[in-house]
Structure 1
């Protein structure tokens, strides 16, 4: 089977974008974890997802390598800087933990959409060797998004309770 050149090109661009997206995720999560004091359940889950994200990056690099391609250093750097700036912006908010929770949930859903698209392109292009890794990344992002959704109420209640007791509730 001949792979259409454009399908391959779209797939490689998507993989490079996903690699940069995962680096952006690390630049968002790592500063959050380093600042969390009052929400150990959030810190534990973020630490676990940082490990998953590092695995996702390795999977993407393997797929790119299978196509004799490499990630885009410029995209990785640009999105990492964007993520770091977003994390810094939230650190100044009085409700930092809530803003981080909202942003993390939105970002996880963005990643889910990206991986759904990549799986579809892999299927269209016949890139069957890539599908299992992309689906693994997708499942991890779905699990993280579900965890964030399931725990938002508890985090919000904890934040409000700390504020009611005049405690530092930010993070």
Structure 2
């Protein structure tokens, strides 16, 4: 089903499609994070990524909860955007030999993922509220807050030493 296919007729349809999209994205992120953790050399970066892995597992559970609350099938639809972000992260990481520069690249890639997720969750919260599903919005807001916090932590790591070491 394409984003603007005939199968999406209502905001409710669009909401469910977006849930399926971000569900796929979270599953792809769970697959990609261990590789990023393995490549990271900064202990703080490794720890932060490991911590976010646990949060991402919780994000998947929350999405499954929202699917159930909304009466929708728990299903993922392929998300080309997250696939592209992860592919780019792998390409960049494969091209960097200097481990300090690699840590900076990993942070940049992780922030690209976080920014994608923040846009998706922000939209889902707004649509849930518009649909009168404040219960779903409340659950999704928890994840949105965690994604924003993860982005801030990555930024602090980058500005707190990783970028300077890479330079």
Provide the residue aligned with 1:166 in structure 2: none
Provide the residue aligned with 1:41 in structure 2: 44
Structure of greater relative contact order (alpha carbons < 8 Å, 6+ residues apart): 1
Deviation, 1:26, is 2.1
Distance, in Å, in 2 between the alignment partners of 1:146 and 1:115 is: 16
Q: For the Cα contact (< 8 Å) 1:25–1:83, is it kept in 2?
A: no
Provide the residue aligned with 2:61 in structure 1: 58
Query: Which stretch of structure 1 is more off in the superposition, 39-48 or 149-158?
Result: 149-158
Instruction: Give aligned pairs, total.
Output: 153
Question: Which residue of 138, 142, 151 maps to 2:144?
Answer: 138
Long gaps (5+) in structure 1: 161-171
Long gaps (5+) in structure 2: 1-8
Provide the residue aligned with 2:135 in structure 1: 129
Query: Which stretch of structure 1 is more off in the superposition, 47-56 or 145-154?
Result: 145-154
Greater Cα radius of gyration, structure 1 or 2: 1
Deviations 1:120-148 (A, max 9, x none): 00000011221121000001000001111
Q: RMSD of the alignment, in Å?
A: 2.1
Question: Which residue of 5, 20, 36 maps to 1:16?
Answer: 20
Provide the residue aligned with 2:5 in structure 1: none
SS of 1:92's equivalent? Answer: helix
SS of 2:146's equivalent? Answer: helix
Q: From the superposition, tell whether residues 122 and 43 of structure 1 become closer, same or farther in structure 2 (CA, over 3 Å).
A: same
